[in-house]
Amino acid sequence: MQRSINRLTSGATRIEDGEFDRRGGIVWHTQGSGKSLTMVFLIRKMRTLRSVRRFKVVVVTDRTDLQRQLSDTAALTGESVDVGRSVAKVKELLARPGPGLVFAMIQKYREASSEFAGEKDVTADTSAEKEAFGLLNESDAIVVLVDEAHRSHTSGLHANLLQALPNCARIGFTGTPIVMGAKKRTHEIFGEFIDTYTLRESQADGATVPILYEGRTTRGAVTEGRDLDALSANVV
């Protein structure tokens, strides 16, 4: 949490950098380590610091069950939680000036004409994702917290998010091992690691049970094996 605060308060904004916002990055904490609570503690800490208390916090998920879980946990922040359940509502909440705590699934970052009823995982770009979403808020006092950052954010929907909030800081949270190709892509989107809590550390703390694999082979024989071989050879 404190490392995220340090990055938010010391990193350059997109306007200062001239190209990218340097206030975000990736928080890689192994599964079951309490990433949702980390988000809550981060928000509560932000509200105590003059430099970042005015920030609007936007939490992005890609599944209804995750949004429900995180928004319920976010009630621990002690502030009102606004959930954008439609494209129009998301636009209204993002465009609203000043601080706030907003939840909006990545699927809502599309034009209302392309909104669909099923809120499932985003698996590929569609023509609907490529429609212009529009600029909603140019403030640099916005931080976007993305749950499960390793997935759903290589799509056109994430580009729509950036178009809507061009000067926001972004912090991606994930606990899923990232393969090399995806790791590079995730870094390109969110920046370098802010903090890591690895599987080995989790095992040492007793939070994760080690999984051990043992390979075994069985030797066997088949009666009248030649007949079986001949039968197999005749199968087209």
Q: How far apart are the first and last CA of the chain?
A: 62
Q: What is the pLDDT of residues 39-68, one digit of tens each?
A: 999 999 999 999 999 999 999 998 888 888
Cα 179 to the center of its chain, rounded Å: 16
**Which residues does 173 contact at the CB level (< 8 Å), separation at least 6?**
26, 27, 29, 35, 38, 39, 145, 146, 147, 148, 149
Give the model confidence (pLDDT) of 143-184 as tens digits.
999 988 877 666 688 888 999 999 999 999 988 755 555 555
Chain centre to alpha carbon of residue 66: 11
158/137 Cα distance (integer angstroms):
15
Residue 90 pLDDT exceeds 70 = yes
Query: By three-state DSSP, how is residue 68 classified?
Result: helix
- Of 103, 17, 13, the closest CA to residue 52 belongs to 13
Please state the pTM of the whole predicted model: 0.78
Domains recognised in the chain with CATH numbers: 2-233 (3.40.50.300)
Q: How far is CA 148 from CA 112, 176, 204, 230, in A?
A: 24, 8, 24, 53
Q: Which of 16-20, 58-62, 201-205, 213-217 has the lowest mean pLDDT?
A: 213-217
| Res 184: pLDDT | 55
Q: Lowest mean pLDDT: which of 4-8, 148-152, 200-204, 214-218? A: 148-152
Query: Distance (Å, rounded) from C-alpha 67 to C-alpha 61?
Result: 6
